Amino acid sequence: MAEEDFERFWQDQFTEVVVFLMRQRIRFADAEDAVQEAMTAAYKSWSTLRNPHAWVRVVAKREFQQATTRLHKQRAREHAVAHGADTGVFDDDLGVLRQDQQAIVSLLRRLPHRQREVMAWHIDGFKPAEIADHLNERVETVRSNLRHARQALKGHIAQDGYWNDVGGAS
Amino acid sequence: MTEPLEPPDKVLDEILNHHRAASVADVSKHLDLDLGMRVARAEVNDSDAIDPIQAKRYADVLLAAQEGSTHALDEVIAELSPMLWRVARSTGLDRRSSEDVVQTTWLALLHSMSTIDNPAVLPGWLAMTALRESWKSSRDGRRDYGRVKERSGLALDQPALDEDATKDESLGPGHRALWQSIRRLPTRWRALIQVIAYTAPPYFDLVVTSLGVPRGAIGPHWDGYLAEVRRRLNSNPESPNVEGRTGT
């Protein structure tokens, strides 16, 4: 693919992948760094990439994981998550979103890890079979995680009254 | 008390679809995609223009450091730290914070050196890391990010920036005069000159492109800066013999 294609891809996908990571409880600044690395790597290998949309998401997530491992932050974060410190603690980067969207990302971040990850791919338009392929999971597992995630989200939305706020119920 | 009514699947899909577009629109206001693209270009393309001897030296140094040689990086740190410090100062950080940024940048290199595929781009990688660390370090990094963006990657009003050099007693009177002349230049020129002054010639393009100055803008401007410095030096009373000094 040509250089102009890559520029379009950069403009079209950079922000999408940043938000994709933010939905998975990765801070905005860390997400931006990881996507910059992943997109630069995509640029280097551009002519050989068959599915750049999925590739850059997988690589960006890996870049983030490698960065946190390198900086020895992983354990601290997992500890915080395991001890229920996830309400609010990881949401202080959400000022880049308007309030209604902050509420949704915050809901997504409250999902268990696998459901959160599958839901992030689902929101970006990937089908369960594709998600299973990119995450190296069984498609049944992906479907199951997706079903649970959707159910949990519907529950949260009903509880939080978000549905009423957006005019879904009256 | 009745259970809250759950939305049907269709409504959830509508909410998520709207969320996808709206969240991307929100976040895109806080990102500088053009700067990111320029940085990637500098990292990927400009490596061809790098002196292969220097590239090999950086590769050797990084390899030795990875293998645990404690002093492997000393020379490179001494060589490139002044440039990194100027990068931090050019974003408006004070001396102390800039020193912290330089430290953090070298620490980042220690953590990431195994991921640097092409050691030839090391100065650009460091400059970009220092720039990002500088933004993070400032109290409202995001707002500064926008401000720096407007200034094409270089801060334009740092009144105390080059006072450091003009007060440095270790510099001879000629050098002090040179910095005093630079001080009288327009602020945009000063910022650029100060970063370039601490960057080895083969890396001007790489470092400055990493800082967001468009490729190709350096050559002609650099000549203009030097001509102006030369002119001002010649009119500087503290500079008894300046001929040829600025050409070095």
Contacting A residues, span 135-164, partner chain B, CB-CB under 8 Å: 150, 153-155, 157-159, 161-163
**Residue A98, Cβ neighbours under 10 Å: how many?**
13
Residues of chain B contacting residue A22, judged by C-beta atoms under 8 Å apart: 23, 27
- Alpha carbon B155 to its chain centroid, in Å, reads 11
Nearest residue in B to A29, CA atom: B136
Interchain proximity B7–A154, CB inside 8 Å:
yes
The band of A12, judged by pLDDT with boundaries at 50, 70 and 90, is very high
Cα Rg of chain A, angstroms: 17
Interchain proximity B7–A36, CB inside 8 Å:
no
- Looking at every residue in chain B, the average pLDDT score rounds to 69
Assess whether pLDDT exceeds 80 at residue A100: yes
- B135-179: pLDDT as tens digits: 777 654 445 445 444 444 444 334 344 455 556 555 566 666 666
Residue matched to tokens 């992948």: A17
Interchain proximity B12–A98, CB inside 8 Å:
no
DSSP string, B8-37: PHHHHHHHHHHHHHHHHHHHHTT--HHHHH
pTM: 0.53
- If DSSP states are collapsed to H, E and C, what string results for B116-127? CCCHHHHHHHHH
Among A11, A36, A150, the residue with its CB nearest the CB of B12 is A150
Q: Residue B246's pLDDT is what?
A: 38
Q: Residue A97's pLDDT is what?
A: 92
- B16-66: pLDDT as tens digits: 999 999 999 999 888 878 767 766 776 676 544 556 677 788 888 888 888
Among B2, B10, B13, B24, pick the best mutation site for testing chain A contact (most A Cβ within 10 A).
Answer: B24
Higher pLDDT, B164 or B231: B231
Assess whether pLDDT exceeds 50 at residue A169: no
Residue B66 amino acid letter? Q
**Residue A161, Cβ neighbours under 10 Å: how many?**
11
Give the range with max mean pLDDT: A27-36, A49-58, B153-162.
Answer: A49-58
The values of phi and psi at residue B117, to 5°, are -70, -35
- B87-129: pLDDT as tens digits: 787 777 777 788 888 888 888 888 887 777 777 778 878 888 8
Q: Residue B155's pLDDT is what?
A: 43
Give the range with max mean pLDDT: A44-58, A90-104, B132-146.
Answer: A44-58
B40/A contact by beta carbon, under 8 A: yes
A103/B contact by beta carbon, under 8 A: no
